[in-house]
């Protein structure tokens, strides 16, 4: 991570270098870090992928710009982490009250082979109505994950099946599509909800 900053800022000259390294440290390892710099999600405007939501609409990163956004990667054959996170998100949205209606919430599958549009529709129907399920061709899922710096991996299980390892954090973006912060897996509500409020415009965040 440090080397990346050295390379990037090296051209700015030796004088600026020391200062920039300081800034780099603060963002990368210091108190300002929300994720290591190399893994920070792109702005939504810099991402490029096309998926289909659970109602059959064509969607992409541009769909999310204009309102604050939460994005979570998972899959519907996930017995533990994904229902827990979707229940957590549903609880946060309940806490946010009216403000929840001003947000985009996208659950992007990392298992498009099993998670068809119909499977996503059935699954998200059990959670908060603001949650949209996104699926699509594998190459587009891969491009989405790359933009968010999300990781996923197919793992064979006993008996010939498979499961997916995947980034379990929730990505939070503001209405301009800039990445604000991450909410860790199973982060307590008293930390998660204030984080979400920070991504909301002030007039919306005030409303309950």
Binding residues for Cu cation: 78, 82, 166
Residue with tokens 């827990």, as numbered in its chain: 84
Of 63 and 107, which has the nearer Cβ to another protein?
Answer: 107
Output 63 or 85, the one with its CB closest to another protein: 85
Identity of the residue, 65 or 180, whose beta carbon is nearer to another protein in the bound complex: 180
Q: Residue 172's closest CA among 187, 192, 189?
A: 192
Minimum Å distance from CB 202 to another protein? 29
Q: Which is nearer to another protein, 151 or 207 (CB)?
A: 151
Smallest distance, Å, CB 38 to another protein? 11
Strand partners, 69: 104, 173
Question: Contact positions toward another protein, by CB under 8 A?
Answer: 39, 76-77, 79-81, 83-84, 86-88, 90-91, 122-123, 126-127, 151-153, 155, 157-159, 161, 163, 165-169, 182, 184-186
Phi, psi of 124 (to 5 degrees): -65, -20
The rounded distance, in Å, linking the Cα atoms of 208 and 56 is 31
Binding-site residues sit at 78, 82, 166
SS (H, E, C) 103-142: CEEEEEECCCCCCCHHHHHHHHCCCCCCEEEEECCHHHHH
Residues in the chain: 208
Q: How far is the CB of 82 from another protein (least distance, A)?
A: 9
Q: Which is nearer to another protein, 28 or 65 (CB)?
A: 28
Q: Given the structure tokens 């998100």, which residue do they identify? A: 89
Q: What is the DSSP string of 75-112?
A: -TT-SSHHHHHHHHHHHHHHHHGGGGGG-EEEEEES-T
Q: What is the rounded CA–CA span in Å between residue 54 and residue 28?
A: 37
Q: How far is the CB of 203 from another protein (least distance, A)?
A: 30
**Least distance to another protein from the beta carbon of 142, Å?**
16
């Amino acid at each position: 991570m440090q080397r990346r900053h050295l390379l990037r800022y090296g051209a700015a000259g030796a004088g600026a270098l020391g200062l920039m390294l300081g800034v780099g440290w603060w963002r990368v390892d210091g108190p300002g870090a929300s994720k290591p710099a190399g893994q920070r999600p792109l702005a939504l405007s810099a991402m490029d992928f096309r998926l289909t939501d659970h109602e059959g609409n064509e969607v992409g990163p541009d769909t999310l710009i204009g309102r604050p956004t939460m994005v979570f990667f998972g899959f519907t054959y996930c017995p533990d982490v994904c229902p827990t996170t979707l229940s957590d998100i549903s609880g946060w949205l309940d806490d946010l009250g009216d403000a929840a209606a001003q947000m985009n919430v996208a659950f992007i599958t990392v298992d498009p082979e099993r998670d068809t549009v119909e499977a996503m529709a059935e699954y998200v129907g059990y959670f908060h109505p603001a949650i949209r399920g996104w699926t699509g061709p594998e190459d587009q899922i891969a491009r989405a994950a790359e933009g968010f710096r999300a990781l996923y991996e197919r793992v064979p299980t006993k008996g010939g099946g498979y499961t997916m390892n995947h980034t379990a954090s929730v990505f939070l973006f503001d209405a301009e599509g800039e990445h604000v912060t991450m909410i860790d897996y199973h982060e307590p509500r008293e930390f998660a909800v204030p984080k979400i409020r920070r991504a909301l415009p002030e007039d919306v965040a005030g409303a309950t």
